[in-house]
């Protein structure tokens, strides 16, 4: 007589995650996703999961860990399913109106913070999305006035929720930086992680990025891949005082060209910096 396998154990849930997500992710990634769901929904860390692998879950607990799996099977990113992610020590709400913050963007924030001997007076984050950069810089420089602008009202609504949830004070403005008739007040530090993925690369992106994250914040047309960088840099010439700083995150292929373009506009001390993987990713320039 064969022994009946319990379907309500932690182990059974982990096996179901591996089975259902195997076509989308590697085995290690699936385990990390399952652990993240257990932690978010039940408060269990990885050691608790291991200790309780044979333990039975209640009906309510099973619902909590299985409901996210349905959305994950469709390829929806884990961060959207959970509704949040961690960024530079902040809990950032994310939804399909905003990009999911990347580790490289945390690196950009680190570079800005480490480079400053004193706090800037006014920081402008262009294309703020979830507000992660603006909020992290406000946390690091509480005495600074921080402004985040975005062309998407939905993104700004998410940024406002993140401001409230993290107890920080940032000014959010609905502005399209490409509209040169829409005025922007002067500042002494500008940072931007603008759309920089060439449209021709859309098919090569991971499906969960291509099908779920906002194209408005991802893509730029191949005919002018430096569009946002050029316009922002040109506007920065009038927004920044002498000594004011401009920071960009960019596409690893086009970042060197962005540096050359900014230098050609008259910025000084232009530096192209690598991310932790060794790819040219960031640009820093001084007005």
Domain C-terminal end among 20, 52, 74: 74
The size of the chain, in residues, is: 287
Residue 200 lies in a domain: yes
CA distance 45 to 215: 34
**Same structural domain for residues 63 and 178?**
no
What's the confidence (pLDDT) of residue 7? 82
**Same structural domain for residues 197 and 235?**
yes
Residue 5 lies in a domain: no
**Same structural domain for residues 38 and 126?**
no
**Same structural domain for residues 98 and 37?**
no
**Same structural domain for residues 183 and 92?**
yes
What's the confidence (pLDDT) of residue 258? 96
Domain C-terminal end among 42, 74, 106: 74
Q: Per-residue confidence of the chain (287 residues) as pLDDT tens digits?
A: 344 456 889 999 999 999 999 999 999 999 999 999 999 999 999 999 999 999 999 999 999 999 999 999 999 999 999 999 999 999 999 999 999 999 999 999 999 999 998 899 999 999 999 999 999 999 999 999 999 999 999 999 999 999 999 999 999 999 999 999 999 999 999 999 999 888 988 988 888 889 898 998 988 898 999 999 999 999 999 999 999 999 999 999 999 999 999 999 999 899 999 999 999 999 999 99
- Which structure tokens are listed for 226? 């430096």
**Same structural domain for residues 66 and 191?**
no
Domain C-terminal end among 33, 49, 74: 74
Residue 275 lies in a domain: yes
**Same structural domain for residues 247 and 131?**
yes
CA distance 10 to 56: 7
What's the confidence (pLDDT) of residue 280? 96
What's the predicted TM-score (pTM) here? 0.92
Q: Collect all residues with Cβ–Cβ distance below 8 Å to 54 and sequence separation of at least 6.
A: 9, 10, 11
**Same structural domain for residues 42 and 92?**
no
Number of domains in the chain: 2
Cα 281 to chain centroid distance, Å, stands at 15
**Same structural domain for residues 161 and 230?**
yes
Question: 57 lies in which domain range?
Answer: 10-74
Residue 216 lies in a domain: yes
**Same structural domain for residues 148 and 206?**
yes
Contact 220, 250 (CB under 8 A): no
Residue 82 lies in a domain: no
**Same structural domain for residues 96 and 205?**
yes
Residue 2 lies in a domain: no
Taking the CA atoms of 154, 164, 131 and 95 in sequence, report the sign of the dihedral they define: negative
User: What's 206's domain CATH number?
Assistant: 3.40.50.150
Residue 4: phi and psi, rounded to 5, are -75, 130
**Same structural domain for residues 192 and 58?**
no
Residue 260 lies in a domain: yes
Residue 160 lies in a domain: yes
- Which structure tokens are listed for 272? 């192209």
């Amino acid at each position: 007589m064969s022994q009946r396998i319990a379907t309500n154990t932690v182990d059974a849930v982990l096996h179901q995650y591996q089975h259902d997500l195997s076509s989308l992710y590697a085995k290690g990634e699936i385990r990390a996703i399952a652990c993240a769901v257990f932690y978010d929904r039940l408060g269990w860390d990885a050691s608790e999961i291991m200790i309780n692998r044979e333990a039975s879950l209640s009906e309510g607990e099973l619902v909590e860990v299985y409901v996210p799996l349905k959305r994950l099977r469709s390829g929806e990113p884990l961060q959207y399913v959970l509704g949040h992610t961690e960024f530079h020590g902040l809990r950032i709400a994310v939804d399909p109106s905003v990009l999911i913050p990347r580790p490289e963007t945390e690196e950009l924030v680190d570079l800005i913070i480490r480079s400053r001997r004193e706090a800037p007076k006014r920081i402008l984050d262009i294309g703020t999305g979830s507000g992660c950069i603006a909020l992290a810089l406000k946390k690091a420089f509480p005495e600074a006035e921080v402004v985040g602008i975005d062309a998407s009202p939905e993104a700004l609504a998410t940024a406002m929720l993140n401001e409230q949830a993290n107890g920080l004070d940032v000014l959010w403005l609905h502005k399209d930086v490409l509209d040169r008739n829409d005025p922007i007040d002067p500042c002494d530090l500008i940072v931007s992680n603008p759309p920089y993925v060439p449209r021709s690369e859309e098919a090569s992106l991971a499906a969960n990025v291509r099908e779920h994250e906002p194209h408005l914040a991802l893509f730029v047309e191949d005919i002018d891949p430096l569009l946002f960088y050029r316009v922002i840099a040109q506007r920065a010439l009038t927004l920044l005082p002498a000594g004011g700083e401009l920071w960009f995150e960019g596409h690893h292929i086009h970042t060197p060209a962005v540096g050359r373009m900014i230098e050609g506009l008259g910025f000084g001390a232009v530096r192209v910096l690598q991310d932790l993987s060794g790819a040219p990713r960031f640009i820093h320039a001084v007005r």
